[in-house]
Structure 1
Amino acid sequence: MTLPSVETQQRELGTMISAARKRLGLTQAEFGRRVGYTQANISKLENAHLGLQREQLDAFIKALKVSDAEAAVMRRLNASASTSGIWSGRRLVATPPWFRDILAAEQEADTVRSWTGERISGQLQCESYMLTLFNTAGRRDIDDAVYERGQRARVFARHPKREYEFLLSESALLQLTRTRKLDPYILLDQVKHMLSLIDAHPGVSIRFVPFGELPHLPLDLTVFGFAQGADDFAYGETPQGVQRSTAETLRSSYLDRWTALSGAALSREDSRTLLEHAAREINDTRLPAGAAGFPALP
């Protein structure tokens, strides 16, 4: 049996919102005022030209006074529609289609646990660092790529109560402090960005696995946990591409690997100290004498 397309499911959600609004006798403008949307955006939603985050849909459901059964259908349709990569009314164009459901999961998951080994996760990258990476790779769609990767990072501010755990090897940090390929000001900006993330968002944890704790570096992996509306899942990055977990491999492989990595990682406090020392090393050894850099440590 062929499943309905994402576009079909999004149109169905828009039709349900429109019907519920009309049952209440509200115009688009009146309903928009109740939920903090303009009339134009309500029209876009009802005509499947704009997506909704899960929390936004919950506010709509409450305002529309729909039944529990209708609410469940709306949540299912919205979860499916989110995989089309529609955030803030702008479609993802720089992200490969096969990766868009992963990015949608980043936006919707209640917990995200990510191991990226020898590189900095896209969610942790500051704008100057990601711009440099895209330019170095010869990307032509830089504006869209930066916008889409920036959306990944903005989830921390939009959902402060969610939990995000990032594990990296100590060598990933060493590459930032020692590489001669990138401008030291950009490297310092990236380290300071990670420090600011953990200071500004209590739900964000960044920890490092020290040298010697692992006989080899496992392939990158991410585990998503959902409180409702979707099943937990994980994905790994292999030489053959992205591999998504099954219910069995989630338990037997991904969660076991995450537990081992987490057990080998430094504490949050020790990891923060490591970031501070990385910033100091870039500041003292790579920047010109007298340049404005990292403030003195207490």
Structure 2
Amino acid sequence: MISAARKRLGLTQAGFGRQVGYTQANISKLENARLGMPEDLLETFIKALKVTGAEAAEMRRLNASARTAGVWSGRRLVATPLWFRDILAAEHEAATVRSWTGERISGQLQCESYMLTLFQKAGRRDIDDAVYERGQRSRVFALHPDREYEFLLSESALLQLTRTRKISPFVVLDQVKHMLNLTTTHPGVAIRFVPFGELPHLPLDLTIFRFGNGAKDFAYGETPQGVQRSSADTFQTCYLDRWASLSGAALSPEESRELLAHAEREISDTRMPTTVAGFEQLP
């Protein structure tokens, strides 16, 4: 339907892409259902293509049906838990995403080789689907360069990555380079580390989504009992206040990039890391 509406206006994919800020390649992928269609992007397309009335309503209905059915980028989700599908949609629709992971590298920051290794070590049988579906999460950075994504990680998360003996040093290097590349090629992405000693204990992982009008804002946390989504009462006190405390303790984006750059140099030199600048030597 998008393709038909574009052609009615006499627009090529490249011409339409220039109007809405997308490359010709991405317009092609969207028209052929190889990329997911967030609600706000569909509205941008509807307006640009001058689609109204029943046709616009049908576009919205079909898009909502695909999302409800668990279809992501033209491929049905099979490896992603049902409860996480709303999170995938929020990652593509939110104006800002803020994530804290204390002891691990966030799924959105993982490179493909690192994902593959983790899934293999977990004994997953659906590795291809799992890697594909997790990989869709990082594509949001290129699709929406105007949005803000901020990731806070404990310094110990980087230490655990670089000191592991269970993962190939080449995979570790790939992951470190991937995070460095995100911070240099995507201006909206910030990765910051909270140094050792700044927190008396590591808070549970949390993610905050903020949308344009604020009405849909929500957060979720990961607890030993499972995932807990914010309520109106807990959004400020349990999530925004906690985030403010974590952010205040974190290194600047520039300092964090230098930490990653030092880790990259060290792994490249030794092929098996032993220490990272700013980290104490473990016994």
Contact 2:94 2:209 in 1 (8 A): yes
Q: Which residue, out of 212, 233, 253, partners 1:227?
A: 212
Task: Indicate whether 1:152 and 2:137 are aligned.
Answer: yes
Q: Given the alignment, which residue of 161, 165, 173 partners 1:180?
A: 165
CA-based RMSD: 3.2
Aligned with residue 90 of structure 1, among 65, 72, 75: 75
Distance 1:185 1:77, change over 3 A: same
Question: How much does 1:30 deviate?
Answer: 3.9
1:107 aligns with 2:99: no
List aligned pairs for 1:118-267, cutoff 5 A.
Answer: 118-228=103-213, 231-267=216-252
Partners in 2 of 1:274 and 1:220 — Cα distance? 22
TM-fit CA distance, 1:78: 5.1
**Tell me, which stretches of 5 or more residues in structure 1 are unaligned?**
1-16, 289-298
Q: Which has the larger radius of gyration?
A: 1
Rate the CA distance shift 1:73–1:112 in 2: closer, same or farther, 3 A: farther
Tell me which residue corresponds to 1:62: 48
Deviation at 1:70, TM superposition (A): 9.6
The alignment of Structure 1 onto Structure 2 pairs a total of residues equal to 258
SS of 2:49's partner is helix
TM-score by length of 2: 0.80
Q: TM-score, normalised by structure 1?
A: 0.77
Paired with 2:217 and 2:230, the residues of 1 have a C-alpha distance of 9
Distance (Å, rounded) in 2 between the aligned partners of 1:84 and 1:246: 26
Residue 278 of structure 1 corresponds to 263
Structure 2 vs 1, CA of residues 167 and 66 (structure 1 numbering), >3 Å: closer, same or farther? same
| Residue matched to 1:9 | none
CA distance in structure 1 between the partners assigned to 2:253 and 2:61 by the alignment: 36
CA drift at 1:229: 8.7
The residue type paired with residue 241 of structure 2 is: D
- Offset at residue 82 of structure 1 (A): 3.4
Assess, with a 3 A threshold, how the Cα gap between structure 1 residues 183 and 246 changes in structure 2: closer, same or farther.
same
Q: Secondary structure at the match of 1:135?
A: helix
- Where structure 2 has 5 or more consecutive residues not aligned to the other structure, the ranges are 14-26, 274-283
Question: Residue 220 and residue 121 in structure 1: after superposition, are their counterparts in 2 closer, same or farther (change >3 A)?
Answer: same
Is the Cα contact below 8 Å between 2:114 and 2:172 reproduced in 1?
A: yes
In structure 2, relative to structure 1, the CA distance for the partners of 1:214 and 1:33 (3 Å cut) is farther
Structure 1 residue 251 displacement after superposition? 1.1
Query: Kindly tell me: are residues 27 and 153 of structure 1, through their superposed partners in 2, closer, same or farther at Cα, counting changes over 3 Å?
Result: closer
